[in-house]
């Protein structure tokens, strides 16, 4: 164990020579790991959604989202700090751990304090015990070993694969077991807490460290993380306040439908966009002395995101009437319009996701904060007004249009940082946009006019639609690439991975 002395030194290092390859391998580990976790989670959802009701998910959603908002509002970016500072020493790690623990204890106290007011506000007595038990979650998170993030800095995500895998497997096993026994929302809470305990233990198992209370590196850490904390607060509110507003206006069943619909919509973010973004940040952080290289890495990430994550999200919206019932079973029809409206616009936003780690690696945390503040000012009032005037569907459409606004703000952020055109990222992925347009024409104009298989063959119908959409997208993409002379790009990378040449 690295316990003695002031300097700890990097326990995990990486070769800087092949940055593109390291980023690709790192993203592949995260995507592969998260895909496996999603399969496990899918099994969990298929079982638990049939044992619980939309009202159960609505009640749990309120406590989950309240905690996530509190976490987001106080998150100082421990992982980003470790990744950013390659020379982090003992004082830095102790300070990070100290503030993480104090934050966890503070959030636990706030959750306890909110239990009764939340119960009164939503007229739901079950929220009191839920908030009290959920108060344990931030304490578990606050105790996590900060040195574990060294693996992320080195783009070595194999350990995370193991940790997240064991965490998820344990959480799912507990959730399903409790759902079978009790048939209520405590199954979801139990799985979350047990998974958090597993993650805490493994973070110290893989990289032993004995933390001490310390505030010595306060100025160094919060000089970088100050704006990051403020940005995280806005990001969380932008992502999470919707469900709380839905619950207040429309009740628990619509909240459960909206919550689960958004979980489905965010699959491409969680399983594709977020892993690529996480791999890009440490990669671009190592290129801090070469701004042109950082920009090229960012644009490469945009092209990759547009080629893979965006079509998954857009296609998901087109097949929502079959996808939602197969995922959640009967009783969750309110989730269908959520996926239909929000997934396509969120898919367009995905292609600009690499701009966020680009700004972070350039140290432009203040600009990230301003972007999120503008987004919140545009988005939150429009969502509330749409919900009041046009009901549940109006709120969903407002949320969908917000994805377009978010894309525009990201492009303006790119222009502000680089001094180049805001449309440069779009020009860099024009082949993906063309392929998306062809796929959309099929589903919007042609698909409604052809005979369909009956609902009894819903799975076959879904697989057929997905295959046709993916085929049209892929063929268009590669034809456009061939037409312009087969330049270096995501197509050549995919062919190389498939053929080994």
The Cα–Cα gap between 331 and 488 comes to 48
pLDDT at site 27? 53
Encoding tokens for residue 237? 């509110």
Q: Is it the case that residue 19 has pLDDT exceeding 60? A: no
pLDDT at site 2? 39
pLDDT confidence bin for 204, thresholds 50/70/90: confident
Going by C-beta distance under 8 Å and a sequence separation of 6 or more, which residues neighbour residue 191?
44, 171, 172, 173, 174, 175, 178
Kindly report, residue by residue over 263-322, the tens digit of the pLDDT.
Answer: 888 777 666 666 666 666 666 767 777 888 888 888 888 888 888 888 999 999 999 999
Kindly report, residue by residue over 401-450, the tens digit of the pLDDT.
Answer: 998 999 999 999 999 999 999 999 999 999 999 999 999 999 999 999 88
Kindly report, residue by residue over 355-390, the tens digit of the pLDDT.
Answer: 988 888 887 878 888 888 899 899 999 999 999 999
The Cα–Cα gap between 405 and 81 comes to 29
What does the pLDDT average to over 325-351? 88
Q: Is it the case that residue 178 has pLDDT exceeding 50? A: yes
Q: How many helices and strands, by DSSP H and E, does the chain display?
A: 22, 0
Could you state, in order of their start, the residue ranges of all structural domains in the chain? 1-227, 266-501
Closest C-alpha among 69, 128, 122, 134 to residue 252? 122
The Cα–Cα gap between 433 and 436 comes to 5
The Cα–Cα gap between 225 and 179 comes to 40
pLDDT at site 115? 93
Q: What is the 3-state secondary structure (H, E, C) of 11-50?
A: CCCCCCCCHHHHHHHHHHHHHHHHHHHHHHHHHHHHHHHH
pLDDT at site 154? 59
CB 210 within 8 A of CB 223: no
> 8-38 in b/e burial notation, b at 16+ Cβ within 10 A?
beeebebeeeebeebbbbbbebbbebbeebe
Torsion of CA 218, 224, 225, 230, to 10 degrees: 130
Counted residue by residue, the chain has a size of 501
């Amino acid at each position: 164990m690295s316990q003695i002395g002031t300097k700890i030194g990097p326990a995990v290092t990486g070769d800087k020579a092949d940055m593109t390859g390291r980023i690709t391998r790192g993203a592949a580990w995260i995507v592969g790991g998260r895909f496996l976790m999603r399969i496990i989670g899918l099994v969990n959802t298929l079982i638990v959604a049939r044992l619980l009701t939309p009202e159960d998910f609505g009640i749990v959603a309120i406590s989950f989202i309240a905690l996530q908002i509190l976490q987001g509002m106080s998150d100082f970016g421990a992982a980003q700090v470790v990744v950013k500072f390659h020379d982090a020493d003992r004082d830095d790690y102790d300070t990070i751990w100290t503030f993480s623990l104090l934050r966890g204890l503070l959030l636990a106290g706030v959750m306890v304090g909110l239990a009764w007011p939340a119960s009164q506000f939503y007229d739901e007595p079950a929220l009191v015990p839920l908030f009290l038990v959920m108060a344990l979650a931030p304490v578990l998170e606050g105790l996590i070993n900060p040195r574990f993030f060294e693996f992320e800095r080195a783009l070595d995500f194999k350990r995370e694969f193991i940790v997240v895998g064991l965490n998820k497997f344990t959480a799912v096993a507990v959730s399903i077991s409790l759902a079978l026994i009790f048939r209520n929302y405590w199954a979801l809470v139990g799985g979350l807490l047990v998974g958090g305990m597993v993650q805490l233990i493994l973070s110290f198992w893989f990289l032993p460290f004995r933390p001490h209370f310390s505030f010595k590196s306060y100025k160094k850490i919060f000089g970088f993380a100050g704006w990051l904390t403020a940005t995280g607060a806005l990001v969380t509110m932008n992502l999470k306040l919707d469900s709380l507003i839905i619950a207040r206006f429309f009740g628990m069943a619509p909240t459960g439908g909206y919550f689960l619909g958004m979980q489905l919509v965010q699959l491409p973010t969680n399983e594709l966009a977020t892993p690529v973004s996480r791999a890009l940040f440490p990669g671009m952080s190592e290129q801090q002395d070469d701004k042109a290289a950082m920009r090229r890495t960012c644009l490469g990430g945009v092209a990759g995101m547009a080629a893979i994550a965006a079509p998954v999200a857009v296609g998901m919206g087109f097949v929502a009437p079959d996808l939602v019932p197969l995922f959640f079973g009967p009783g969750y029809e309110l989730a269908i319009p959520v996926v239909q409206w929000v997934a396509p616009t969120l898919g367009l936003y995905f292609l600009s996701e690499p701009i966020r780690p680009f700004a972070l690696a350039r140290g432009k945390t203040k600009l990230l904060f301003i972007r999120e503040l503008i987004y919140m000012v545009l988005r939150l009032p429009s969502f509330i007004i749409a919900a009041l005037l046009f009901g549940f569907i109006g709120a969903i459409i407002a949320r969908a249009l917000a994805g377009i606004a978010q894309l525009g703000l990201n492009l303006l952020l790119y222009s502000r940082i680089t001094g180049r055109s805001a449309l440069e990222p779009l020009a860099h992925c024009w082949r993906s946009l063309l392929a998306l347009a062809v796929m959309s024409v099929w589903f919007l104009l042609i698909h409604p006019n052809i005979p369909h298989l009956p609902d009894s063959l819903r799975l076959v119908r879904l697989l057929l639609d997905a295959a046709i959409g993916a085929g049209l997208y892929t063929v268009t993409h590669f034809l456009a690439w061939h037409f312009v002379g087969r330049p270096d790009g995501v197509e050549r990378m995919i062919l190389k991975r498939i053929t080994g040449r």
